[in-house]
Amino acid sequence: MRSTARSRIVHTQATRVTTSIPSRPLPCSVHGTTTVDAADAAGEGLSPTWPAGQVFPPPVTIDHVLADERIEVGDVSIRDLPGSDHRAVLAQLFVP
């Protein structure tokens, strides 16, 4: 696959995710499958993930763990990553 075609596909997928999550936090559709945002399912959906340790710009939640709706979400935690301007989203997932 040519790199421009691959870039277009990745961009399209990212656009689907970013436009689906704000308007419909649970569930959203990515590539024809129904997914849930693990942090939303665990009650941590509004935890900011970027920018880490800064006040400006205002922190927002832009990092997500998406799981198929058939997968049970356990604990979710948001953790600082040394050297990164993003915070990590760690999710415990139980595959049936």
- The pLDDT tens digits for 63-92 are 999 888 889 999 999 999 999 999 999 999
pTM of the predicted protein model: 0.63
Across all residues in the chain, what is the average pLDDT? 78
**Three-state DSSP string of the chain:** CCHHHHHHHHHHHHHHHHHHHHHCCCCEEECCEEEEEHHHHCCCCCCCCECCCCCCCCCECCCCCEEECCCEEEEEEEEECCCCCCEEEEEEEECC
- Tell me which DSSP letter residue 50 carries: B
Please give the structure tokens belonging to residue 62: 């832009």
- Whether residue 39 has pLDDT greater than 80: yes
